[in-house]
Each structure stands twice: as structure tokens, then as C-alpha cells.
């Protein structure tokens, strides 16, 4: 039996679920179908109500949770066991991840938090405040470790 890299299929399916939800009945059905397929096959919960930009990368797509109102910009990388969701059951505030951000394994981002452009969240960090652009945060609770100058355009 040939070995196949199924992990490469997870990110496009996750993006597709967020795009299909905008369509009528068939689109909603397909979004729910692929959301369930991702949960069964890869252990990923990717809500069809999340807004996901193009170029999402999931190098190790195991245990990733993307909640209903999460907004993910283009070219974001999420590693295994990353949780993006709301803080309380009654709350309506979800995190926003801007373009080029990298979130390493086990990071937890809950509530109305913004992760800036090209920001890096270290492994197992618990982010409780906004992360500025071009910054690296880590720890429990997450603190700013370094700030980089803006990359050249």
C-alpha cells in the first residue's frame, strides 16, 4: 500500500468549509459534511461559520479547534493542538488572527483577542491580551518576548 500524505488535504478542506457556508442548501450541506469528515479523519474541529483566508497551513493537523466566529487572515500557519475560540459560553467575542501569523503547538487563544500581522505565538502559550504586529509571545500567561521591525515590502 502506498503511503499518502493526508495532512496536505486538511487545510484546503478547512478553507472550503468556510467558503461553502455562504451558499444556499447544497453549500451548507457540503460545509457540514466536510467539517464532520475533518473531525473524524484528522481530529480537527473547523467550524463552517469561521472566516478563513486563503493559504492556511496546517503542517500537523491533529487536535486543531477553530470556533464559530474566528477570523483567520491569509497565509496563517497553525500547528497541532491549537485552540481558537470564545472565552465564555454566553460571550460573542472570538479571536482574530491577521495575515502571516504563526501559532505553534498547544497554544490557546480565547476571547476577543487580535494576533497581529507576522506575529509568532510560542508553543503552549495562553494568550490573554492582544499581540502586536511582528512580535513574539510566549508563556502562561503570554508575554511579549521580542519585537521585530516590520519586514521590507
Structural domain includes residue 150: no
Structural domain includes residue 51: yes
Cell of 55: 493559504
- Give this prediction's pTM: 0.83
Neighbour order of strands in the sheet with 83-85:
45-46, 65-66, 83-85, 108-110, 126-127
Distance from chain centroid for Cα 90: 21
Placement of cell 500581522 in the chain: 117
Which domain range does residue 105 map to?
Answer: 8-144
Q: Looking at 45, 52, 64, 81, which residue is catalytic?
A: 81
Q: Which residues of the chain have pLDDT under 50?
A: 1-4
Contact 125/108 with Cβ under 8 angstroms? Answer: yes
Q: How far apart are CA 28 and CA 109, in angstroms?
A: 27
Structural domain includes residue 1: no
Structural domain includes residue 90: yes
> What is the biggest distance separating any 2 CA atoms in the chain, rounded to whole angstroms?
49
Nearest Cα neighbor of 7 from 46, 56, 60, 50 is 60
Structural domain includes residue 35: yes
Q: How far apart are CA 18 and CA 57, in angstroms?
A: 15
Count of domains in the chain?
A: 1
CATH code where residue 65 lies: 2.160.10.10
Q: Is 60 a catalytic residue?
A: no
Structural domain includes residue 151: no
Amino acid at each position: 500500500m502506498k503511503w499518502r500524505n493526508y495532512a496536505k488535504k486538511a487545510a484546503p478542506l478547512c478553507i472550503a468549509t468556510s467558503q461553502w457556508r455562504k451558499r444556499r442548501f447544497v453549500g451548507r450541506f457540503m460545509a457540514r459534511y466536510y467539517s464532520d469528515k475533518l473531525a473524524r479523519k484528522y481530529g480537527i474541529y473547523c467550524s463552517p461559520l469561521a472566516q478563513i483566508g486563503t493559504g492556511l497551513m496546517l503542517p500537523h493537523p491533529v487536535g486543531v479547534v477553530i470556533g464559530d466566529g474566528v477570523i483567520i487572515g491569509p497565509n496563517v500557519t497553525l500547528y497541532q493542538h491549537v485552540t481558537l475560540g470564545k472565552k465564555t459560553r454566553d460571550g460573542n467575542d472570538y479571536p482574530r488572527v491577521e495575515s502571516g501569523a504563526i501559532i505553534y503547538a498547544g497554544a490557546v487563544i480565547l476571547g476577543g483577542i487580535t494576533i497581529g500581522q507576522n506575529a509568532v505565538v510560542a508553543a503552549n502559550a495562553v494568550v490573554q491580551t492582544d499581540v502586536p504586529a511582528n512580535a513574539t509571545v510566549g508563556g502562561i500567561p503570554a508575554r511579549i518576548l521580542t519585537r521585530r521591525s516590520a519586514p521590507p515590502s
